[in-house]
Amino acid sequence: IDRVLDQEKAISQVLKADKKTRHLVPSWQDVDVMESVKKALSPLKDFTDALSGEDYVSISYVKPVLHLLKVNILSLNDEDTELTKTMKTSILAYLTDKYQDPTTDDLLDMASLVDPRFKTQYIDKDKIEGIQTRALSELESLLTIQYPTSDQQPTSSTSTSTSQSPDEGQTPPKKAKQSLASFLKASGVVNASAATTSASSSLKEAIEGELKGYFQKANAESEVDPLGWWKVHEANFPRVSQLARKYLCIPATSAPSERAFSTGGNIVTCQRATLKPDKVNQLVFLSKNL
């Protein structure tokens, strides 16, 4: 539509030159319709291209972009035609319906939370506390799986077994198994349970401290690469960085996967239809990464 409007005069001259095509010459009503459509859709093009990228973090952009569209880009103006207003209203209704799913909304909130440029800036005020609690719970669960009884930083190495007795690796006499060894084993279980509870409590406190420090730190500049920021500050927030690593790798759209399918379609052609699946995987990988 943009190209047609830009070349409208030349197109009209060409169509007028032939009697068979004169009826195709755009009327002023046609031009008005195209201008209204262009005004409603042209601002969305840059956002669509940006969110479809795969060489940078995109998932955390969704919340800020939706906010910008609602309060600025797609807001109704007195200068808008009725068609433009109708299109803006329809687009906003579609976006609202698309992202109102609680699961999707929570995912976007978590991605925004671990982006140092945004954090809680674009999360609804009544949901901030719930999202922070969820981040704490998710981090605790994630780190407990990775480091079951460690209350140190994720990069440190501590002993994860407190239930072994000194002679547990040896084969004791059969009589000892039913007396002293059994007692030591039971006692070890109790000690392990207590140690696990203590470690869990300590881990929770450590995560809470890191999250508090992360939220108190000033937001990064809008042009800062969040992955680069986390690479620099990972030593300060080693646990929270695990959550950032989990969410910031998610693409905002399906465009990257569709590009991979297109690459596969260019490789598996009619002339190369007998390629084995493993070979196709290797060729697609090389095509996308070289």
pLDDT of residue 289: 85
Residue 78, pLDDT score: 87
Q: What is the mean pLDDT of residues 228-236?
A: 93
pLDDT of residue 45: 85
The pTM of the full predicted model, rounded to 2 decimals, is 0.69
Measure Cα distances from 35 to 1, 6, 78, 84, 218 in Å. 8, 11, 16, 9, 43
Q: For the ranges 169-173, 253-257, 269-273, which has the lowest average pLDDT?
A: 169-173
Confidence of residue 262 (pLDDT cuts 50, 70, 90): very high
Query: Which tens digit of pLDDT belongs to each residue from 166-210?
Result: 444 555 555 444 443 443 344 444 444 444 455 567 878 888 898
For position 232, what pLDDT does the model report?
A: 93
Would the pLDDT of 152 be above 90? no
The average pLDDT across 210-221 equals 91
What number is the average pLDDT over the span 130-135?
Answer: 90
pLDDT band at 73 (very low <50, low <70, confident <90, very high): confident
| Mean pLDDT, rounded, of the chain | 82
Q: Give the DSSP letter string of the chain.
A: -HHHHHTHHHHHHHHHTSGGGGGGSPPHHHHHHHHHHHHHHHHHHHHHHHHT-SSS--GGGHHHHHHHIIIIIT---TTS-HHHHHHHHHHHHHHHHHT--HHHHHHHHHHHHT-TTTTTTTS-HHHHHHHHHHHHHHHHHHHHHHSTT--S-TTS---------TTTTS---HHHHTTHHHHHHHHHHHHHHHHHHHHHHHHHHHHHHHHHHHHHSPPPPTTS-HHHHHHHHTTTSTTHHHHHHHHTTS-SSSHHHHHHHHHHHHHS-GGGTT--HHHHHHHHHHHHH-
Q: What is the pLDDT of residues 241-252, one digit of tens each?
A: 999 999 999 999
Higher pLDDT, 178 or 49: 49
> Does residue 147 have a pLDDT over 90?
no
